[in-house]
Structure 1
Amino acid sequence: MTPLPEHLHQATRARTQETEKRARSALAELVKAGKPVSFTAVARQAGVSTDFLYRSPDLRTRIERHRAKVGSASAASEQPSGDSSTSAAVRALSARLARQQQTHHAEVERLRKALEVAQGENLALRRRLARYEAD
């Protein structure tokens, strides 16, 4: 494999530096606005991939640090309401699932009975056919 020419290395470095600059700027904007800091939020704001942020040690450290600062301060205030809404959603989905299971069990039982009847009719018809063929 042939090594890349120097001008391509320079272009790659310049593009990486520009991307890092946009990411740092986006992080600063999120912090200044008091918005939640996450890899996804920074990536959207900067127009970069989350993979780029995770692979950049400096950016990764900064985002994790800001996320931890804001996360620990706001976690206490947001967690109770978040848990109750999550619990309510889980309870609602569990109840819906239980109703669907009951409906499905009833339908399976109805289909089993219909299958038994059909198999009985099939057996009776085979026996009648066997009697006619024997003659």
Structure 2
Amino acid sequence: MTPVPEHLREATRARTQETEKRARTALAELVKTGAPVSFTAVARQAGVSTDFLYRCLELRTQIERHRAKSGTAPAAPADRSDDSSTSAAVRALSARLTRQQEAHNEAVARLRRALEVAQGENLDLRRRLARYEAG
């Protein structure tokens, strides 16, 4: 595996910092206006994904703290290490797995039908052979 060039790493860092800045600004605006603070609200306001907010520990902590202050905390524990129910990657992989399972089930059904046909032909040939040998 070839190493990632420095200019690409720097571009990634700059993009991440800009995204964090937008999220912090959105959080501050929500708090200032008294709007309910949630991961979804911050993500919409900042134009970022909820996955990004959950992965960024500092932003996650701030959002959870403000959400708890406003009393909009969810019923689920807030200290989970990941929130797979909102993870776009998990949803995409689940959808892909479902499609693969459906394709597998169709292939198994086709193979079973082909096996039934082959077994029928085999039985027919054995019967013909038995009549030939008997006669």
SS in 2 for 1:35: coil
Counterparts of 1:1-135 in structure 2, within 5 Å, are: 1-71=1-71
Deviation at 1:55?
A: 0.1
CA deviations 1:20-53 (Å, max 9, x no partner) are 0000000000000000000000000000000000
Q: Structure 2 CA distance, aligned partners of 1:3 and 1:51?
A: 26
Compute the displacement of 1:7 (Å): 0.3
More helix, by proportion? 1
Deviation at 1:3, TM superposition (A): 1.2
Cα RMSD (Å):
0.9
| Cα distance per residue 1:84-106 (max 9 Å; x no partner) | xxxxxxxxxxxxxxxxxxxxxxx
Which amino acid letter does the alignment assign opposite residue 51 of structure 2?
A: D
Gaps of 5+ in 1: 73-135
Equivalent residue letter for 2:10: Q
Distance in structure 2 (CA, Å) of the matches to 1:10 and 1:45 = 26
**Partners of 2:13 and 2:23 in 1: CA distance:** 15
Structure 2 residue runs without a partner (length 5+): 73-135
Pair member with larger Rg: 1
When normalised by structure 2's length, the TM-score is: 0.52
- The structure 1 segments of at least 4 consecutive aligned residues displaced by more than 3 Å after TM superposition are none
For normalisation by structure 1, the TM-score amounts to 0.52
Tell me the SS of whatever aligns to 2:71: helix
Partner amino acid for 2:25?
A: S
